[in-house]
Homo-oligomer: A and B are copies of this chain.
């Protein structure tokens, strides 16, 4: 069954929007019809590329009667206000991860979507990556038994990508937990059934020049008995993409000669110059979005089931069974984030909730905070606001 394209408004035309462009440009099920952003330069670029309307405020966008849904791609700490405004306008919502920085904000967002009767999808996030979906299908088929243990780790240059000052302050959502950890948490929750029971973690903030968490290791255990280790370092040294066929997080082929490029680019920049550098990577400045050559990924992930381990790769899922080793391919779609659009179409045209609802996003955010809190108190933290997968697929 085919539907008319989803008429999408975009709030925020920065880096996150840039990373959605290859998908928006190549998935005919979605049409960009309006945008709101503070910079005239990016609004002009939007109108020049997509036509449609460009606004200076979220309220105008939310009031536009010709849109079905709004993609909120503003900085984390603005998500709650923006979700409330868009929900008040009766539009469905796709809001970039993390749902919010504080759990209070997350509560407001859950309430706003419920009160307005709109669907809220937290995405994109790497939990939508096609190999993750493929692994879920393989697990659901049941041939390999239960998921018992997941090992997820990722070593990146995250902390040395150009930042605005607040992105280096934990209390404002800076550091690796809210921007990066939440991907890992989303994926691991998806693989383990969603309802984590407790978290124990250590975190590291080792660079006094960038004094926010740049690394962590955490153990989660889940209802049903599975458990997982999540380890992350954003300190730009070891690069775990060498174990992912030299494919970057965004699906590009990495040039081994580019080692150290993130740190070198920041060398001798003051915070203002660094924020300006970040600005050059945004929409409407002539910068081009990445051109994926493989599926996106979030680092090596090994899923141990009773009768096989599954290894997530950019090209698919490698199955290490009792007797044989095989590879199940997950082809790259021209719209690399197609599963995000699937969720959007389901929400707008079929009134179906994705797994990654507001409650789901709040549960992943709870884990981010629990990692920080466990590390500070040196104790396990019991989780109280987790959601499963089955429930979310049927509830509004």
Contact = CB atoms under 8 A, between A and B. Distances in A.
Interface centre among A149, A228, A259, A308, by most B CB within 10 Å?
A: A149
Contacts of A229: 217, 229, 231
Contact of A239 (B148, B320, B323, B380): B320
A325 B157 CA distance: 14
Contact of A322 (B200, B233, B263): B263
A306 interface: yes
A46 interface: no
Contact of A217 (B151, B204, B380): B151
Given A155-B309, A202-B221, A235-B309, A215 B259 contact: no
A302 B299 CA distance: 15
B200 A321 contact: no
Nearest to A146: B206
B206 A148 contact: yes
A235 B155 CA distance: 26
A281 B263 CA distance: 52
A260 B308 CA distance: 11
A227 B217 contact: yes
Contacts of A149: 202, 204, 215, 217, 231, 233
B304 A235 contact: yes
A243 B151 CA distance: 15
Nearest to A197: B378
Contacts of A198: 378
A244 B260 CA distance: 23
Nearest to A221: B202
Interface in A195-238: 198, 200-202, 204, 206-207, 215, 217-219, 221, 227-229, 231, 233, 235-238
Contacts of A239: 320
Given A238-B309, A309-B235, A378-B380, A227 B200 contact: no
25 contacts: A149-B204, A149-B217, A149-B233, A151-B153, A198-B378, A204-B227, A204-B304, A206-B306, A219-B219, A221-B378, A229-B229, A229-B231, A235-B304, A235-B309, A237-B308, A237-B309, A237-B322, A238-B304, A238-B311, A239-B320, A259-B320, A260-B321, A260-B322, A379-B380, A380-B380
Interface of A: 148-149, 151, 153, 155, 198, 200-202, 204, 206-207, 215, 217-219, 221, 227-229, 231, 233, 235-239, 243, 259-260, 263-264, 302, 304, 306, 308-309, 311, 320-325, 378-380
